[in-house]
């Protein structure tokens, strides 16, 4: 027998045994130890299931959490939007810029404050175009926009005008609320259309959004609004911690009234100490390099202050 080899083998075994004991001691360390407690809290905060409040409301209307499927559908949207970190974080940052524009219009039109979250679930407060062709914060279709006084030409598209499209959305919601007698159904109709909701209510013989069997998108729509609302009302409870200086501030602008056509927007922007990039960012409804103004008309344009 090789004594030297046996000794080496014993040393290796002893080393692995000691390492195993040390690892076990770390894994069962005192939960009261501050370092251990911090580590456990961090892991828990990253994986904690969001809690659903006992009382949930949309625009003052109670959500029947005890009704079939309601709690679970809301839970799904709470989980999805809590852990969809990058998008939800951007929503929170953008809201500090755009909610001060949207909220006063909702108040003026008598629309509940909860509907500011509709702009988030529609567009994420971005000037996006859907695959179906809906555009802007409030995602109006090209054919629907003129019904709500949003002008569309080769040069301008007021679906991208935040103020005007917010007024248009309010007018739609007021019509839907009057027809259905429910803000939840009004919200659902914003996604599916008034005719679609009307048809489903009649065919299914029910009276509330919470009872309706709908296509996947509309079935999730109001629940997503509720989830976004819950996160916005207490973001840190859902793991979103944002320093005050990290929010996007409202643009600092001044308004210029234009009563004659502009042949070149780049030249116009430079004349006012700016550039086309800033002009189009502040006025995304300008869709061309020029703007025609009818005789006797005037148009407000925002430029950096």
Q: Is 297 exposed, middle or buried (0-12, 13-18, 19+ CB in 10 A)?
A: exposed
pLDDT value at 242 more than 50: yes
Which tens digits make up the pLDDT trace of 146-200? Answer: 999 999 999 999 999 999 999 999 999 999 999 999 999 999 999 999 999 999 9
Q: Which helix (H) or strand (E) covers residue 58, if one does?
A: strand 57-58
Q: Which residues contact 115 (CB under 8 A, 6 or more apart)?
A: 59, 106, 169, 170, 173, 183, 187
Nearest to 248 by CA among 109, 99, 141: 99
Nearest to 88 by CA among 218, 234, 187: 234
Q: Yes or no: say if 117 and 229 are a contact pair by the CB < 8 Å rule.
A: yes
Q: Yes or no: say if 74 and 63 are a contact pair by the CB < 8 Å rule.
A: yes
Distance CA(55)–CA(30), nearest Å, equals 38
Nearest to 139 by CA among 157, 160, 156, 153: 160
The mean-pLDDT minimum among 12-26, 119-133, 140-154, 219-233 falls in 12-26
Residue 302 corresponds to which tokens in the numbers above?
A: 């925002």
Nearest to 265 by CA among 287, 289, 232, 246: 289
What's the confidence (pLDDT) of residue 27?
39
Start-to-end CA distance of the chain, whole Å, equals: 91
**Average pLDDT value for the chain:** 89
Q: Which residues pair with 152 in a beta bridge?
A: 157
Residue 83 corresponds to which tokens in the numbers above?
A: 């852990």
Which tens digits make up the pLDDT trace of 3-53? Answer: 444 444 544 554 544 444 444 433 333 434 433 333 433 443 567 888 888
SS in 3 state form for 107-121? Answer: HHHCCCHHHHHHHHH
Distance CA(256)–CA(201), nearest Å, equals 48
What's the confidence (pLDDT) of residue 84?
82
What's the confidence (pLDDT) of residue 54?
87
Across the range 193-217, mean pLDDT stands at 98
User: pLDDT band at 135, cuts 50/70/90?
Assistant: very high
Residue 170 corresponds to which tokens in the numbers above?
A: 């309010």
Q: Which residues contact 292 (CB under 8 A, 6 or more apart)?
A: 153, 155, 261
What's the confidence (pLDDT) of residue 47?
72
């Amino acid at each position: 027998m090789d004594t030297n080899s046996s000794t080496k083998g014993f040393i290796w075994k002893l080393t692995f045994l000691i390492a195993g004991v040390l690892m076990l001691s770390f894994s069962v360390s005192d939960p009261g130890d501050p370092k251990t407690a911090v580590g456990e809290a961090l892991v828990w905060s990253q994986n904690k299931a969001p809690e659903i409040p006992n009382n949930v409301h949309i625009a003052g209307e109670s959500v029947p959490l005890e009704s079939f499927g309601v709690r679970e559908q809301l839970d799904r949207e709470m989980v999805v939007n809590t852990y969809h970190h990058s998008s939800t974080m951007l929503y929170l940052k953008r809201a500090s810029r755009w909610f001060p524009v949207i909220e006063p219009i909702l108040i003026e039109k008598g629309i509940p404050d909860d509907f500011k979250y509709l702009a988030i679930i529609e567009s994420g407060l971005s000037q996006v175009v859907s695959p179906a062709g809906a555009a802007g914060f409030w995602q109006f279709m090209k054919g629907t926009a003129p019904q709500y006084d949003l002008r569309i030409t080769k040069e301008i598209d007021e679906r991208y005008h935040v103020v005007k499209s917010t007024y248009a959305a309010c007018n739609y919601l007021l019509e839907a609320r009057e027809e259905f007698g429910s803000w939840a159904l009004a919200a659902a109709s914003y996604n599916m259309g008034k005719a679609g909701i009307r048809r489903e209510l009649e065919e299914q013989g029910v009276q509330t959004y919470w009872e309706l069997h709908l296509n996947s998108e509309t079935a999730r729509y109001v629940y997503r609004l509720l989830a976004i609302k819950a996160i916005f009302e207490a973001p840190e409870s859902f793991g979103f911690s944002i320093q005050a200086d990290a929010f996007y501030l409202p643009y600092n602008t001044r308004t210029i009234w234009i009563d004659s056509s502009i042949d070149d927007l780049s030249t116009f922007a430079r004349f006012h100490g700016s550039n086309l990039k800033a002009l189009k960012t502040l006025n995304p409804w300008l869709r061309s390099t020029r703007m025609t103004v009818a005789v006797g008309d005037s148009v407000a344009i925002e430029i950096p202050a």
